[in-house]
Amino acid sequence: MQKAARELAKLAGWRRVPGPHIWPIVGNPAALRAPGDLIGFGEGYWHRYGDIFRVSLFNRSIVVLAHPNAIKYVLCTARENYIRGSVYASTRRLIGDSVLTLEGEAGRARRELQQTAFHRGSVEKLVTQMVASGARHCDALAGRAREGVVAIDAHREMARLTLEVFVRALFGQALQGDFGALTDVMEVVSDGANRFMLPPWVPTPRNWRWQQAIASLDAHLYGLIELARKQGSDDSLLSMLIAARDAQGAPLEDRAVRDEVITLFIAGHETMALTLTWLFALVGRHRDVLPRMQREVDHVVGRRDPRFSDFAELQYVRQVIDETLRLRPPVPMVARDVVDHDAIHGYEVYAGEIAIPFIWATHRHPDFWADPLQFDPDRFEGQRATRHSSWSYVPFSAGPRACLGDMFSLVQTVLLLAQLLQRFELQIEDCADVKPVMMLSASPRPSRPFRIELRPRRSG
């Protein structure tokens, strides 16, 4: 069967995927460095072997794809053959069966059920809540300013800020007195989910803390679900999930609501915190960008609270976010199990391999981007209509399994930036040396903490 398939492949002119020599048992020894620097590892091979290459990591054969056409093929055209299988096993242990981990018909049905919660109209309803939480956090920061200045650790503070805003958008009125205890435990879970961890049965202190946090999170979540069912609908994501019905008119059971809530949190929190963190790191090196953003915020929003309609008007702020997501995509690669022997972009791949759309590389591919390594928000000017159709720019992935929270996170990021820029002059520490570091299963974090000084602006 295998032989026949290969004969067929030869006749069809399928080519062999290039890559370093793979030795029996050890694979390619250079790959042992990969877990400490996945991006650098991938980029090195991309420059050497081109837009598709094969490596072996932890005894798995991996085909990495940097060309937009190959990415489109795997994530859209032939998606039934490229599934979120074994590589999502550890995620499944935490989040169970959710829109992120379900495949086939079950995955489609779950996604359909949730789509209304993420429509433009639903996101608009969340804005009042988001802006109120953002204002609370920014005002507390202003209160901390001694002698007129408060210095923050950029990543840590953005993680707290997005946590506060996100948790309130998720749970709305059901939250009440739970806020502090819940955010503490969610911080531990988010951190664990975004780090490389040994399997849960290995008795390390971090594993133990994480398991405790999940148990405590579950207790909180089931309590909140019960309360939200009793209280009836508000504009939170939780109540939208509870109100959602499948094609047969059936609601989600508590366990499924729990799985979806954790999924939204894990998918959304760290990604949004890192978008803001990297934006500041990049902007800090381009001194003209921040004043331009601030002028736009002053012109569009002034000193009032931002509202949903400002999102469309804050075009330059949005361009800066788009450019940040191009150069520092919080999800720089996604992974799929290859189900059946196939060819991607004319190159032969085998059942059981892992295909990795390497978003990071596509976003800096010289065939698709002029001066690709240059941070230049103006490259997105006037490209609103085309920006999401091109497979060379896929920070939220694309196609039928693209990010559900893209609109939510863009609106939230734009409005949070407006709130910060309204209130503070920002002095960002020189961070030319800050590099993105990505351990296995994590998003790229800054190689060292960097500070931002916030000086409250005078009103009037």
Region near ligand HEM per CB under 6 A, out of 39-47, 89-97, 137-145, 260-268: 260-268
User: Of 106-135, which residues contact ligand HEM (CB under 6 A)?
Assistant: 111
Residue 206, classed as helix, strand or coil, is helix
Query: C-beta of 247: minimal distance to ligand HEM in Å?
Result: 16
Query: C-beta of 458: minimal distance to ligand HEM in Å?
Result: 32
- Whether the CB-CB separation of 359 and 395 falls below 8 Å is answered with yes
194/397 with CB nearer ligand HEM:
397
78/151 with CB nearer ligand HEM:
78
Count the alpha carbons within 13 Å of 339 in the hemisphere toward its beta carbon.
Answer: 11
- Whether the CB-CB separation of 347 and 65 falls below 8 Å is answered with no
Query: C-beta of 154: minimal distance to ligand HEM in Å?
Result: 16
User: Of 270-289, which residues contact ligand HEM (CB under 6 A)?
Assistant: 271-272, 275
Q: Across the strands, what pairs with 62?
A: 55, 354
Q: Please tell me the count of residues contacting ligand HEM according to CB under 6 A.
A: 22
Binding pattern for the stretch 318-357 against ligand HEM, x by CB under 6 A and - elsewhere? ------------xx--x-----------------------
**Angle at CA 444, nearest 5°, toward 442 and 446?**
125
Q: Of the candidates 264, 283, 338, 452, which one interacts with ligand HEM according to CB under 6 A?
A: 264
Q: Of the candidates 74, 99, 185, 415, which one interacts with ligand HEM according to CB under 6 A?
A: 99
User: For residue 74, what are its two tokens?
Assistant: 């795997």
Query: C-beta of 44: minimal distance to ligand HEM in Å?
Result: 23
Query: C-beta of 285: minimal distance to ligand HEM in Å?
Result: 21
88/350 with CB nearer ligand HEM:
88
Query: C-beta of 86: minimal distance to ligand HEM in Å?
Result: 13
Question: Which residue shows structure tokens 């074994």?
Answer: 86
Q: Please state the φ and ψ torsions of residue 404, each to the nearest 5 degrees.
A: -80, -25
Give CA–CA dist 411/318, Å, rounded.
Answer: 9
Give CA–CA dist 357/316, Å, rounded.
Answer: 29
Task: Count the residues in the chain.
Answer: 460
Q: Which residue is nearest to ligand HEM (CB)?
A: 405
27/330 with CB nearer ligand HEM:
330
Burial class (CB in 10 A: 0-12, 13-18, 19+), 366: exposed
Question: Which residue shows structure tokens 């989600």?
Answer: 252
Q: Are strands 354-357 and 336-338 parallel, antiparallel or unpaired?
A: antiparallel
Binding pattern for the stretch 15-54 against ligand HEM, x by CB under 6 A and - elsewhere? ----------------------------------------
Query: C-beta of 160: minimal distance to ligand HEM in Å?
Result: 16
Query: C-beta of 5: minimal distance to ligand HEM in Å?
Result: 27
323/348 with CB nearer ligand HEM:
323
Binding pattern for the stretch 393-432 against ligand HEM, x by CB under 6 A and - elsewhere? --xxx---x-xxx--xx-----------------------
118/369 with CB nearer ligand HEM:
118
Q: Quickly count: other Cβ atoms within 10 Å of residue 154's Cβ.
A: 25
Q: Please state the φ and ψ torsions of residue 278, each to the nearest 5 degrees.
A: -70, -30
348/353 with CB nearer ligand HEM:
353
Region near ligand HEM per CB under 6 A, out of 176-184, 265-273, 276-284, 296-304: 265-273
DSSP string, 326-386: HHS-SS----EEE-S-EEETTEEE-TT-EEEE-HHHHTT-TTTSSSTTS--GGGGTT-TTT
113/150 with CB nearer ligand HEM:
113
331/415 with CB nearer ligand HEM:
331
Query: C-beta of 170: minimal distance to ligand HEM in Å?
Result: 8
- Whether the CB-CB separation of 324 and 289 falls below 8 Å is answered with no
The yes or no reply on residue 262 touching ligand HEM (CB under 6 A) is no
Largest CA distance in the chain: 77
Give CA–CA dist 295/102, Å, rounded.
Answer: 45
Q: Of the candidates 192, 268, 284, 306, which one interacts with ligand HEM according to CB under 6 A?
A: 268
Region near ligand HEM per CB under 6 A, out of 32-40, 207-215, 339-347, 389-397: 389-397
Helices (H) and strands (E) in the chain, counts: 16, 12
Q: Of the candidates 100, 131, 300, 426, which one interacts with ligand HEM according to CB under 6 A?
A: 100
Sequence-separated contacts (24+) of 401-404 with Cβ below 8 Å: 401/75, 401/79, 401/84, 401/107, 401/111, 403/267, 404/99, 404/111, 404/114, 404/115, 404/118, 404/264, 404/267
Binding region for ligand HEM (CB under 6 A): 99-100, 111, 263-264, 267-268, 271-272, 275, 330-331, 334, 395-397, 401, 403-405, 408-409
